[in-house]
Structure 1
């Protein structure tokens, strides 16, 4: 590549409306020149979770203004952009429609190519934007909608080693917080309460620990929390703190087993790799207890631990723009304007469905 490439990214897969302009320089280094994110937290907090209809309406109202702001902050116009990248899935179908249709309209009006990006690929490639990481590496994605352990072999080349068979980890945090009367989003609320709690008071289960498969399960843990809370009602603040601390401890011990096995498998698969790396992405990666567990694991297995800045771990358009740039630089074709949004879209789309599928595709 002899010249820089500049791309406009659009992200609307859940409850953040985002636009970004990112540049890929001839040496392969990336630069975020603008990154605008509008959170819908206030709109959804009263409901204890994301309401799809409210999210889609908020995207419609905000997206045009955010795109204009992203271009202005970058000091460019659409004429200066080489391509458009928009999240096409997985996510809430209403939000995906807003972002992808906007991307199509801009691409058609400006004559630019359009890259329909898998949201998970955005997460998977972010460490190459922030740390210049080389392939292959292992990625743990822990968010409200996803918990996956993925081998990242190249752009568009992914191998899923483990996934949740029920609740995502972020979802387990949110549901536990709601059960205990803590505010939304649940992750930060549970972590804050846990700081004052006794992590050994409740011995919660650790599903799938000890099994050779690398999948995750959190629904049983959530049920155990509900049973423990019901048994000691009415709950005091100390009870809530103890439950939260014990909940986090169970998750930490689960990750230690699941991810430890994954790191060992990676080392067996790539014994000559000089500096293997584990990349952690998703909002749950901000939890200090879980992060400490993963950092310790990486030290024990002699892995490099990489966690992009929190603003790039949660939903953002910079990662979508970068994924589009990676595909563009690799000479991959842009997507036709007829591409449709997909509420389900596994990174390893060719793999057999783990827990069944329907009209929208594989569940996991």
Structure 2
């Protein structure tokens, strides 16, 4: 199959759509506003090591995604995360049975980078306009560049951005994107001059505190095991909503005080942070998806996808991207 396609957004959904289209012979250009691959599976690098500050892991349930993850494992870009995981609430701590958790190797962003291999990827290209004329689709960026024309278009950005891009060319899709609802999340990346001495790699906190999850990021497979010990802290949705406009440094201080309390509660060891940063995820978790794998208009050969279509799990974003690609391919064949 011949033809060209542009994918706006290079996260899990966009990269899976782009790879599927390329595998069927289309020339694919991916435009992403970030500095590198990732989206919600971003990996932040620092002088103290790397942090998975977005999605912490992923699971595979549907057969197509199980097959895809198996391929990632064979390619050496994903591995099972085996460790001690717990959950704490008002009744105390419970260690959880081993789950089938997967992570990217050497960081979560590697799975997106792997899917983007062989595609024409333009990072730092933030789309601000999408237009269709007789010659095809064109995309304008905030820096004044124009890409195109393309035969097909896939929009794979967060719902609020999709609504803006689609407002003129596909107002019905823009309206549906506007209906998706999200919960924010503060993510804190902390490295310490010594071990915290905790007996788990991940802990789900359900006791009404600001913190909802902590993970020893440096204990994941494929990570640098030498010091400093690196942890990622996620805040719960309500707390994140209430503090979303606070300065990151202030958020770091608030969440570190809670972490100190958890360390003391579970017999850990006090340690001094040598690196401390916070990242604000405004659209971290989809709480009200649109309920369709993707949105597609055959007459325009336009597909829209993302984790806001089915849900915020990595698998749901991948499934949405694959559905968008299949819709485009069906239009191209028909």
- The TM-score normalised by the length of structure 2 is 0.30
Q: Which structure: greater strand fraction? A: 2
